[in-house]
């Protein structure tokens, strides 16, 4: 459920975290820390505050957030938001060849960076995701951590603020 900013500003911390805790995949700590920065002028400033919480987090906290995201094209259990987002890009309807390609890229990426490939799949196709996978495998680990975080910020925007 999407709330108006004035309602969010008046919520108890428990209600605020319950309402916004899933925006950043399995990371209610982002909403918990953002709560203390109320009141927010609008949803955009709330999003920027939550992004700031993640930016200010330690590298270990950021990596836990990154690692909370599922592999793309995976058939493993994932959040309802991830299921819907991946389905929107057709990742729930991969041919066996496409599935194998995603699994191979997921494995190569995981071996190189020690976290899953993250992309805001909304407005992407299977093909554009595969292209991004191949390009980003060329990045350094530091560059890829930053790319993953930027994608997470975009995912959060699509999940609640868009």
**Is residue 121 predicted with pLDDT exceeding 70?**
yes
**Is residue 145 predicted with pLDDT exceeding 90?**
yes
pLDDT band for position 75 (cuts 50, 70, 90) = low
**Is residue 23 predicted with pLDDT exceeding 80?**
yes
Instruction: Give the active site residue among 20, 54, 57, 69.
Output: 69
User: Which of 31, 34, 12, 11 has its CA nearest to residue 21?
Assistant: 31
Q: Burial level of 153, CB count in 10 A (0-12/13-18/19+)?
A: middle
Catalytic site includes residue 124: no
> Picking from 25-39, 78-92, 113-127, which range would have the lowest pLDDT averaged per residue?
78-92
- This prediction has a pTM of 0.89
**Long-range pairs for 138-146: beta carbons < 8 A, 24 or more residues apart:** 141/112, 141/113, 144/113, 145/59, 145/62, 145/63, 145/66, 145/113, 145/115
Please tell me the predicted confidence (pLDDT) of residue 91.
75
pLDDT tens-digit readout, 26-56: 899 999 999 999 999 999 999 999 999 999 9
User: Which of 32, 86, 58, 62 has its CA nearest to residue 153?
Assistant: 62
């Amino acid at each position: 459920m999407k709330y108006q900013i004035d309602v969010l500003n008046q919520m108890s911390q428990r209600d605020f975290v319950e309402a916004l805790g899933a925006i950043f995949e399995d990371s209610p700590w982002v909403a918990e820390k953002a709560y203390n920065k109320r009141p927010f002028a609008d949803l955009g400033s709330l999003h920027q505050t939550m992004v700031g919480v993640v930016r200010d987090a330690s590298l270990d906290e950021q990596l836990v957030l990154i690692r909370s995201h599922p592999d793309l094209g995976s058939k493993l259990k994932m959040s309802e938001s991830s299921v819907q987002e991946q389905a929107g890009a057709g990742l729930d309807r991969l041919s066996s060849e496409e599935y194998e390609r995603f699994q191979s890229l997921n494995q190569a990426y995981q071996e190189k960076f020690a976290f899953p490939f993250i992309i805001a799949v909304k407005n992407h196709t299977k093909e554009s995701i595969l292209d991004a996978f191949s390009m980003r495998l060329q990045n350094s680990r530091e560059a890829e951590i930053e790319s993953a975080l930027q994608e997470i910020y975009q995912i959060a925007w699509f999940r609640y603020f868009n």
